[in-house]
Amino acid sequence: MAVNALRDFLDDHDVRYLSIDHSPAYTAREVASSAFVPRREFAKSVIVDADGKEVMVVVPASRHVDLDAVASAIGADTARLATEQEFKSRFPDCEVGAMPPFGNLYAMPVYMDEMVREVDDICFNAGSHVQVLRMECEDYVALAKPVIGHFSVKE
């Protein structure tokens, strides 16, 4: 879902959002800094391989994914971070590593850390390394329909 398709999806659901262009950045920390967004308000999308099943885990940029918690929530024996090479074909219209936190639009289950809900608005990659979108967290939850739980640890 390229940025225009993502905008169309949000517009179709009458969701208000703000588009922010920024200098090229590739890690969640860099993106948050480039867009002048506190890291706790930037939601990063991390792809996890749990017993061979790919899932998207959304956590604040200020935290890391707790792989044991994800495995437990899914009922998997093991969970590991998927490599970009493994998942890039799932997001053909996104720059590698810049996928938005809407795994549900790519037939991928979404798990969201409860700390994401601690802020009113969240920012996230919009499919490219130069643009983020900002929207109300509650609107995001309503559209992405993530499983919400404790899926992160401190950096």
Structural domains in the chain, CATH included, are 3-154 (3.90.960.10)
The predicted model gives 10-36 an average pLDDT of 89
The predicted model gives 94-109 an average pLDDT of 94
Position 25 confidence tier, pLDDT thresholds 50, 70, 90: confident
Position 32 confidence tier, pLDDT thresholds 50, 70, 90: confident
C-alpha to C-alpha distance for 91 and 71, rounded to whole angstroms:
23
Distances (CA, A) of 71 to 55, 84, 107, 148, 151: 10, 20, 19, 14, 10
The predicted model gives 69-90 an average pLDDT of 95
Q: Is the entire prediction scored with pTM above 0.75?
A: yes
Say yes or no to pLDDT of 133 above 60: yes
